[in-house]
Amino acid sequence: MLSTTKHARHGAAKSLLAAVAGAVAMAAAIPAQAQAAPVTIIPGLPPVEIPGFKPPKQLQPPKPKPQVQPKADNGVPIPPAPPQPPVASRTGWVGLSDDHQHFIFWYRNGVFVRSMPTSMGTNKHPTPNGTYYIKDRKRSMWMDSSTYGVPVKSPEGYRTFVEYAVRMDWNGIFIHGAPWSVAQQGRSNASHGCLNVSMPNAKWVFDTIPRSTPVIVRGTVGGGNWRTPRD
């Protein structure tokens, strides 16, 4: 009996020592775990600690670049094209010359095609508002104020050589090249009633826009609802 009891006591003491040793080991491991690398969580996988692994920084979407308004050849900002005016066109083409914007806008079959700066008639010689129709065209010609009653040698008179002249009416209003007014085109009015445009734009109109195409003029101080025969 004494031998058995002694053996049991020895076993209990051994178990106690083992438990104390385990507790000491766990306590010693706590600081080590506190200094270990943080646990990395990868979506779809259980948390894994990868030595030396740093999760990537969250990518930020790129900042949108500021939109720059396009400019014409003479540096004038090009405004957005307004809707095509509701006017019938046997050619499919329609022109709109808006004096508030000092631009001519061209449409074909309801689709905007091209815009160009223009300089129309001054307040003293305004371009009448209304609907015009393209008529004949001259590769080059002399424009003479005496044709509508203003002597060439008078203060308001002129005799000017122009190129790519496209007639809008029989009273002397044309779309034509005017290199002398490029600085005003898209900004202000400087003509005696014609629609001045740059030489490249005048050539494009001369080569592209067919006879009988309607051209609407609006926004001038000319008043009226000008309309000329188609032919």
Catalytic residues: 176, 194
- How far is the first Cα of the chain from the last one, in angstroms, to the nearest whole number? 139
Alpha carbon distance 114, 201 (integer Å): 10
Residue 129's alpha-carbon distances to 68, 134, 166, 224, in angstroms, are 32, 15, 18, 6
Sign of the dihedral through C-alpha 175, 179, 184, 186: positive
Alpha carbon distance 180, 195 (integer Å): 13
Sign of the dihedral through C-alpha 78, 186, 179, 112: positive
Position of tokens 């506190």?
A: 34
- 159-167: strand order across its sheet: 137-144, 159-167, 174-177, 195-197
Residue 14's alpha-carbon distances to 1, 5, 17, 28, 75, in angstroms, are 20, 14, 5, 21, 97
